[in-house]
Amino acid sequence: MTPRTAAAPRRRGRPGLDLATVLERSVELFIERGFDGTSMEDLARHLGISKSAIYHHVSGKDALLGLALDRALSGLEEAAFEVRSAQVSPAARLELLVGRSVAVLVERLPYVTLLLRVRGNSETERAALARRRQIDRLAAGLVQDAVDSGELRPDADPTRTARLLFGMVNSLTEWLHPGSTPAAGELADAIVAIAFDGLRTP
């Protein structure tokens, strides 16, 4: 599917940006150009402040990446934590994980988008990938439990099924636009309807 091109309005020359704004606008540029393709000079220009004004908040580009990835991961981890303790059947827990993950993705779209682009090129990136793998394992475990409980088809390979299901969830980052996004609940329902009940007319 066709990804959006980043074209955020630029507010140049604003002094005294707070860390939240620096982070938000840096992530815009990381998504547009790639993290490795963005220099501190690029960030300063995009933010309309000096490099030293950025260093006032953080030690550098990598620290901004770490904060951004944590923003995505902490949301997804909270969702996983909630789901793990829900007193419902395994398949219902898996549905809940889809719903909560979509909600985090919509609410923290640029941060999750950035997380999904991380390839392990630095210690910060590798730490983020390790946290992602934990969540992936939970998802595969839920599929396994739901197969064992007889709710899901026995031929559903847990790891592959979890990958495909959350591949569909994560693909939302390719076409959702920040600010003009359908309700997360509606998107989650569409995904659950496809993956759990299938597209075919019964």
Instruction: Please pick, from the candidates 33, 58, 70, 145, the single residue that binds a second copy as defined by CB under 8 A.
Output: 33
Contact segment (CB under 8 A) with a second copy among 14-22, 44-52, 97-105, 163-171 equals 163-171
Sign of CA dihedral 194, 119, 106, 48: negative
Q: Which stretch binds a second copy (CB under 8 A): 19-27, 49-57, 68-76, 125-133?
A: 125-133
Phi, psi of 19 (to 5 degrees): -60, -40
Q: Which of 13, 15, 16, 167 binds a second copy (CB under 8 A)?
A: 167
* Alpha-carbon span 71 to 141, nearest angstrom: 24
CB count within 10 Å of CB 48 equals 15
Question: In this chain, which stretch among 60-68, 72-80, 101-109, 185-193 interacts with a second copy, using CB under 8 A?
Answer: 185-193
168-to-83, 86, 105, 191 alpha-carbon distances in Å? 19, 23, 12, 7
Q: Which is nearer to a second copy, 17 or 135 (CB)?
A: 135
Nearer to a second copy, 41 or 197 (CB): 197
CA atoms within 13 A on the CB side of 170: 17
The residues binding a second copy (CB under 8 A) are 1-3, 5-6, 31-37, 91, 116-121, 129, 132-133, 136, 146, 150-157, 160-168, 170-172, 174-175, 190-191, 193-202
